[in-house]
């Protein structure tokens, strides 16, 4: 476990995907919801191709609805689709699923909301010794402020804040991977901006970096 944490690697044989509460009732409220769903869809398709286990949670589904229909979770065992009322995904039921997969010590985490359920899940996973990669372009909140400040806190907790493409290329490692072309197809078309970075700020930052280099 310690080597994964120090190196930041994501490996097929040791990772698991956590899909946090991407439910229908949240659609009107969450910033960049459709783009987040697209990112989650790509990761779920990759999990099927690469045979990576997945845990899906649904917050109070009786009131908030099921996982959105755009996400194909048909390959996820029914026992790994878990309703919850706690904000954290790390319920006793989920802990038992993890105990059944002791070699899976790296969690790729995405969903909603970044500053509530995703954050509390990340904290509790870190407390349990897991390496946690929070997918920034696959997670969101109602307000941009809550979302972006959550990512800062995630880093303070020892998580790696990443993107779905970074995760996928870490899993592939090489274009010699037998599933390279199949996974590559998922990302050939760029996703729409997910609000993680304001392009105007990036331009200003780039110019400042160039000026400082001179």
pLDDT tens-digit map of 27-44: 999 999 999 999 999 999
CB crowding 43-64: b at 16 or more within 10 Å, else e: bbbbbebbebbbbbbbbebeee
Q: Note if 84 is an active site residue.
A: yes
- Cα Dmax for the chain: 59
HSE-up of 210 (CA within 13 Å, CB side)?
6
For position 199, what pLDDT does the model report? 55
pTM: 0.90
Determine the distance from the C-alpha atom of residue 162 to the mean position of all C-alpha atoms in its chain, rounded to a whole number.
8
Identified catalytic residue from 117, 173, 181, 198: 117
* Dihedrals phi, psi of 24, to nearest 5 degrees: -60, -40
Is 118 a residue whose pLDDT tops 90? yes
**Mean pLDDT for the chain?**
91
Identified catalytic residue from 15, 21, 137, 159: 21
Domains of the chain (ranges plus CATH)? 2-213 (3.40.50.850)
Residue 195 — pLDDT band, cuts 50, 70, 90? confident
Residue 8 — pLDDT band, cuts 50, 70, 90? confident
Range 168-172 average pLDDT? 98
Q: Note if 117 is an active site residue.
A: yes
For 48-167, list the strands marked E by DSSP: 54-59, 81-84, 106-112, 131-140, 160-162
For position 164, what pLDDT does the model report? 97
For position 170, what pLDDT does the model report? 98
Range 150-178 average pLDDT? 96
- Identify which of 193, 146, 138 has the alpha carbon closest to the alpha carbon of residue 166: 138
Is 10 a residue whose pLDDT tops 60? yes
For position 7, what pLDDT does the model report? 61
Q: What is the DSSP letter of 214?
A: -
Identified catalytic residue from 84, 137, 146, 173: 84
């Amino acid at each position: 476990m310690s080597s994964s944490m120090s190196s930041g690697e994501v490996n097929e044989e040791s990772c698991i995907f956590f899909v946090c509460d991407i439910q229908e009732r949240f659609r009107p409220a969450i910033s960049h919801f459709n783009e987040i769903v697209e990112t989650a869809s790509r990761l779920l398709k990759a999990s099927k191709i690469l045979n990576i286990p997945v845990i899906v949670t649904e917050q109070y589904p009786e009131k908030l609805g099921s996982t959105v229909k755009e996400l194909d979770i048909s390959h996820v065992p029914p026992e790994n689709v878990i309703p919850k009322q706690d904000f954290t995904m790390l319920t006793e039921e989920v802990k038992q699923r993890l105990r059944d997969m002791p070699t899976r010590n790296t969690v790729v985490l995405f969903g909603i909301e970044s500053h509530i359920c995703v954050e509390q899940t990340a904290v509790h996973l870190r407390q349990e010794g897991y390496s946690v990669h929070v997918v920034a372009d696959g997670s969101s909140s109602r307000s941009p402020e809550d979302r972006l400040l959550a990512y800062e806190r995630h880093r303070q907790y020892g998580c790696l804040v990443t993107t779905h493409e970074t995760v996928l290329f870490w899993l592939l490692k090489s274009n010699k991977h037998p599933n390279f072309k199949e996974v590559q197809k998922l990302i050939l078309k760029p996703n729409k901006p997910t609000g993680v970075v304001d392009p105007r700020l990036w331009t200003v930052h780039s110019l400042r970096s160039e000026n400082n280099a001179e």
